[in-house]
């Protein structure tokens, strides 16, 4: 973090993460790191998946 250029690249990288990160279908929040996937849909937590009627979700936490 000793160059302005590096900081700019890091900003872009962070934006890329937000762009590519799946969104929880229940809350619409960005799912980064861990989340649950079921029925081809992403959720931030098993609770949201169940709220949407998705059962047997794979918990990546
Ligand atoms: Zn959620």
Residue 43, pLDDT score: 92
Protein residues with C-beta less than 5 angstroms from the ion ligand 1: 24, 26-27, 43-44, 48
Give domain status of residue 48, yes or no.
Answer: yes
The answer to the question of residue 16 being in a domain is no
Please give the DSSP secondary-structure letter assigned to residue 42: E
Supply the range of the domain harboring residue 52: 22-61
pLDDT at 29 over 90: no
Question: pLDDT confidence of 27, banded at 50, 70, 90?
Answer: confident
Token representation of residue 20: 């590519």
pLDDT of residue 26: 92
Asked if the structure places residue 3 within a domain, the reply is no
Tell me, yes or no, whether 38 lies in a domain: yes
Residue 43 Cα to ligand 1 midpoint, Å, equals 5
Rama region for 37: left / alpha / beta (φ>0; ψ in -120 to 50; rest): beta
Q: What is the pLDDT of residues 33-53, one digit of tens each?
A: 888 988 888 999 889 999 999
Domain count, the chain: 1
Q: Per the domain annotation, does 36 fall within a domain?
A: yes
Q: Determine the Cα–Cα distance for residues 34 and 21; give it in Å rounded to an integer.
A: 10
pTM listed for this prediction = 0.61
| pLDDT given at position 50 | 92
In a domain? residue 51:
yes
């Amino acid at each position: 973090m000793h160059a302005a250029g590096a900081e700019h690249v890091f900003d872009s990288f962070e934006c890329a993460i937000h762009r590519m990160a799946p969104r929880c279908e229940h809350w619409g929040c960005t799912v980064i790191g861990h989340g649950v996937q079921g029925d081809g849909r992403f959720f931030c937590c098993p609770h949201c998946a169940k709220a949407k009627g998705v059962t047997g979700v794979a918990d990546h936490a």
